[in-house]
Chains A and B, each alone.
Chain A
């Protein structure tokens, strides 16, 4: 733990920290380009010069290339260092084009900031500038090589960190070129990160091209809703349109990067087909009227058939607050028919994960530091791309990745692949745990035994599964395996890829309740007469869509709350539009049991580009925003329950009533979130049996 003095202030930093990081810890800003927390230092840009006056290395040095040593005395304000930095930035600017007004990076450009910080205001160089030809990098990334300052951040991100192979640096001298061999779409599913890491405007978001300036965007810390990993994102909106999404920084989860799905898939927020108007029997109505109609019609069903004739269906996509209030509403109605996932098998897998994860829980950061990751049936690039990226970091750190799957799994890193049909995955897990796997052939058994040896010797091993592929039984076996291989010295970690961003939260709330297939049986024999779907589309998401569709027709009352134009919404007698995560505050519980909050980015409304033919705000004044009817789902239930419609009050109430959700009381969207304790004492076999009954 060296102690050094920077600008007359002392700081003690961990061994191996460089001087630049030590200065950052003191909130001293040293201009830099090539250094990036996730990528490390390469000393390419020569901008972080400072004087070291005492110690073994002295003189003007690059801060990122010098390790902090005990007794170092560093000055960032030394006149020579300041002058060197001024010259370096002037030199970096000699070939930089004069196009800031038409560059999308303007306003959030590190080069702009460093040029100002470096004190370079007037161009002295009067010679000609170097230019490059650009490439077409596909529909997502725009390329403008003239702006390049050769910091190498893009190559280090794309090739080293993300494992892409179709992008690189070419040429020599002052002709170095960052691009592909030929024009074409970037192949890596993490290519969008080039936009975030490029300190200037070489790589910009093509879907956001010329739409807004960074300072005009409404931004808020949010959580990506596309998979169960819960990566931090920062969506930006303007004129009621979600215009772009950039990566948030969450050291425990996604680190600094996100996948292209999280960045470029904007969901239903701006979907022109999105239903925004509450409807009663196909007729538009006001939100209050629709809620009251839902209340009276459900009361009529309860009066006639009893409270158990009402079933409620939650969703892995709904916020935790809405899911908790749905449970409270079920209790107030007197029904126990409450399910949180329309797919019964995924539901079972999620509930077993919630009940058994406990000490096995691992974050993505743990996977990045793992020495052996075994993926059973999981396809991370499809189900949670950042997991694949985390596995790559494990490999870069000297770890190994083994895949057991029905077909070869594409990963951005080296991995041993064992191909087994889906029905043999269970046997393979048994074999890993030391059981006799007679159904497997000899070569597979041999490989699995080798893997078992490896697992026994690994210090920080993690088993990765997928609820979609393994199902309830497979997930259960995976946890059995993890427990069998756990020794007193170290626990085997588990990361289970679940269906949606709040699958885990729904599983915690569902407990021993029925599953959706049981609800369908109830509808079939007439015990269930009313179904309320919260942001769930049973027709599209259940195991047997045809049967579900047929049975939903038999209900006396089908009500839906959603932000998507689904088949269920089209059939619902009462429809209540809800807000997306961009338009409402809320929280999700990610697949490792981490409770994370997201903040509202904008108020709901039809994007200006769709309401105004000229594209500009209307010249008349209105008090109503078109399309602003949707409510947050939790507010609908708060109204139905007669509870406070203030989210902070609701969160405190939820935390007080259910100790598992205690962190909800003081939750902040910009904080890293906290891991919840899983349902204690719920035996999984009981769950399994109940699910079968």
Chain B
């Protein structure tokens, strides 16, 4: 009785293995073959640009504040037109856990998670990315959003010149 059960169990396992020999495999031959990640896949983050091709990042420090592993650092600076931008922006991908909290915190949609997951290097220092390494040419998702056209402080347009603003008030006016 027990002997019959053992023989059956052994052969059944062979039968399953043998059966899979003639099916299409689910694994692929990485790195010769590669998968296409889903559009919302969270891998290396990028810095996007606004519709005019300027950097979207305003160096507000919200990503570095949100980052649970403290891998983002930056320094803000002011351009002659009053635009706040990142003088330098650095991410240590050796430390990054790809949680996406930075992209979620980003108020200008500058940080977006890209599907590029192949960033392993032998030298950990080469995983420290600077702004130049992170910037891409397009706007990524929501590519027509421009923070400065909604901010209300007159950088992209003159003060009071955005679509959702009245022109500057005249404090001297006496009209009730």
B84 touches A144 (CB 8 A): no
Output the residue of A102, A146, A209 with the most chain B CB within 10 A: A102
Q: Which of A100, A106, A131 contacts B165 (CB 8 A)?
A: A131
Q: How far is the CB of B134 from chain A (nearest CB, A)?
A: 14
Asked whether B112 is an interface residue with its Cβ less than 8 Å from the other chain, the reply is no
Binary A-proximity of B32-65 (CB < 8 A = 1, otherwise 0):
0000000000000000000000000011111011
Which residues from chain A contact B154 at a C-beta distance below 8 Å? Answer: 131
**B153 engages A146 (CB within 8 Å):** yes
A97–B152 alpha-carbon span in the complex (Å): 5
Find residues 174-226 in chain A having any chain B CB closer than 8 Å to their own CB: 174-177, 209-213, 215-216
Complex interface: stretch among A337-345, A565-573, A614-622, A629-637: A614-622
Q: Chain A residues near B167 (CB, 8 Å)?
A: 131
Cβ contact within 8 Å between A130 and B166: yes
Which of B59, B60, B73, B169 is within 8 Å of A175, CB to CB?
B169
CB of A614 within 8 A of CB of B88, answer yes
Residues of chain A lying within 8 A (CB to CB) of residue B59: 210
B108 engages A131 (CB within 8 Å)? no
Q: CB of A129 within 8 A of chain B?
A: yes
Which residues of chain A (105-154) have a CB below 8 Å from chain B?
Answer: 106-107, 128-134, 144, 146
B170 at the interface (CB under 8 A from A): yes
Is A686 interfacial (CB 8 A cutoff)?
no
Asked if A15 is an interface residue, CB under 8 A from chain B, the answer is: no
Report whether B58 and A98 are in contact in the complex, using a CB–CB cutoff of 8 Å. Answer: no
Q: Collect the chain A residues with CB atoms within 8 Å of residue B172's CB.
A: 170-171
Collect the chain A residues with CB atoms within 8 Å of residue B151's CB. 97-99, 101-102
| Least CB distance, B172 to chain A, in whole angstroms | 7
Cβ of A438 within 8 Å of any chain B Cβ, yes or no, is no
B168 touches A615 (CB 8 A): no
B170 touches A102 (CB 8 A): no
CB of A173 closer than 8 Å to a CB of B: yes
* B residues near A215, Cβ cutoff 8 Å: 61, 65
- Partner of B153 from the list A106, A144, A171, A212 (CB cut-off 8 Å) is A144
B118 to chain A, nearest CB (A): 22
The residues of B that contact A97 with a CB separation of less than 8 Å are: 151-153
Among B64, B75, B107, B171, which residue has its beta carbon within 8 angstroms of that of A176? B171
Q: Is B96 an interface residue (CB 8 A)?
A: no
Q: Which residue in chain B gives the minimum CB-CB distance to A134? A: B159
A139 to chain B, nearest CB (A): 14
Q: Which residues of B contact A102 (CB under 8 A)?
A: 58, 60, 84, 151, 153
Task: Tell me if A171 and B173 are in contact (CB < 8 A).
Answer: yes
Q: Quick one: given A101-B147, A171-B171, are A210 and B153 in contact (CB under 8 Å)?
A: no
Is B128 among interface residues, defined by CB-CB distance under 8 A? yes
- In chain B, positions 122-172 with a C-beta closer than 8 Å to chain A are 125, 128, 130, 147, 150-154, 159-160, 164-172
- CB contacts (< 8 Å) of B160 on chain A: these are 131
In the complex, residue of chain A having the shortest beta-carbon distance to the beta carbon of B174: A172
Cα(A268)–Cα(B88), bound, Å: 27
A672 CA to B75 CA, complexed, in Å: 35
From known contacts A102-B151, A129-B165, infer whether A619 and B125 are also in contact, taking CB-CB under 8 Å: yes
A128 and B76 contact, Cβ closer than 8 Å, known pairs A101-B60, A146-B153, A619-B125? no
Q: How far is the CA of A473 from the CA of B168 in the complex (A)?
A: 61
Bound CA–CA A131/B176 (angstroms): 18
Q: Which residues of B contact A98 (CB under 8 A)?
A: 150-152
Q: Which residue of B lies closest to A173 (CB)?
A: B176
Which residue from chain B places its CB closest to the CB of A214 in the assembled complex? B61
- Shortest CB distance B78–A (Å): 5
A/B pair count, beta carbons within 8 Å: 104
Residue of A nearest to B108 (CB): A101
Residues of A within 8 A of B153 (CB): 97, 99, 102, 144, 146
Q: How many chain B residues touch A (Cβ–Cβ < 8 Å)? A: 41
Q: Does B87 lie within 8 Å of A615, measured CB to CB?
A: yes
Render A318-338 as a binary contact track against B, CB cut-off 8 A, 1 for contact: 000000000000000000000
Q: How far is the CB of A523 from chain B (nearest CB, A)?
A: 50
Max chain A Cβ within 10 angstroms of own Cβ: one of B77, B88, B152, B165: B152
CB distance from A632 to the nearest CB of B (A): 29
Chain B residue with the shortest CB-CB distance to A177: B171
Indicate whether A211 sits within 8 Å of B152 (C-beta atoms), given known contacts A101-B62, A131-B160, A615-B87.
Answer: no
Give the residue among B64, B167, B169 with the most A Cβ atoms within 10 A. Answer: B169
In the complex, what residue of chain A is closest to B125 when comparing beta carbons? A619
Whether the Cβ atoms of A129 and B61 lie closer than 8 Å is no
Nearest-neighbor residue (CB-CB) of A239 within chain B: B75
User: A617–B130 Cα gap in the complex (Å)?
Assistant: 11
Most chain A beta-carbon contacts within 10 A, residue among B78, B130, B168: B168
Give the complex CA separation of A354 and B90 in angstroms. Answer: 55
CA distance A101 to B155 in the complex (A): 13
C-alpha spacing A175/B160, complex, angstroms: 14
Chain A residues 377 to 393 lying within 8 A of chain B, measured CB to CB, are none
Assess the B171–A106 pair: CB atoms within 8 A: no
Contact among A128, A170, A616 with B166 in the assembled complex (CB-CB below 8 Å): A128
What separation, in Å, do the CA atoms of A133 and B151 have in the docked complex?
15
In the assembled complex, which residues on chain B have CB atoms less than 8 Å from the CB atom of A132? 159, 168-169, 171
Chain B residues with CB below 8 A from A128, complex form: 164-166
Across-interface contacts of A172 in B (CB, < 8 A): 173-174, 176
Given A99-B151, A129-B165, also A210-B78 (CB < 8 A): yes
CB–CB B152/A175 < 8 A:
no
A101 to B88, CA, bound (A): 17
User: Which residues from 72 to 98 on chain B have a C-beta closer than 8 Å to any C-beta of chain A?
Assistant: 73, 75-78, 84, 87-88, 90
How many angstroms from the CA of A274 to the CA of B141 in the assembled complex?
Answer: 50
For the complex formed, measure the closest distance between the CB of B79 and the CB atoms of chain A, giving whole angstroms. Answer: 10
- Taking CB atoms, residues of chain B closer than 8 Å to A177 are 169, 171
> Residue B61 contacts which of A144, A171, A213 (CB distance < 8 angstroms)?
A213
Q: How far is the CA of A98 from the CA of B88 in the complex (A)?
A: 24
Q: Which residue of A lies closest to B57 (CB)?
A: A101
Q: How far is the CA of A133 from the CA of B128 in the complex (A)?
A: 42
CA distance A509 to B56 in the complex (A): 60
14 contacts between A and B (CB under 8 A): A97-B153, A98-B150, A99-B152, A101-B107, A102-B151, A132-B169, A173-B176, A174-B169, A175-B169, A175-B170, A212-B61, A616-B87, A616-B130, A619-B125
Residues of A within 8 A of B (CB): 97-102, 106-107, 128-134, 144, 146, 170-177, 209-213, 215-216, 239, 614-617, 619
Given A129-B165, A216-B64: 15 more A-B contacts, CB < 8 Å: A97-B152, A128-B165, A128-B166, A131-B154, A131-B159, A146-B152, A171-B172, A172-B176, A176-B171, A177-B169, A211-B76, A213-B61, A213-B65, A239-B75, A616-B90
Q: Considering the complex of A and B, which 7 residue pairs feature the smallest CB-CB distances, nearest first?
A: A97-B152, A171-B171, A177-B171, A101-B60, A131-B160, A210-B76, A99-B151
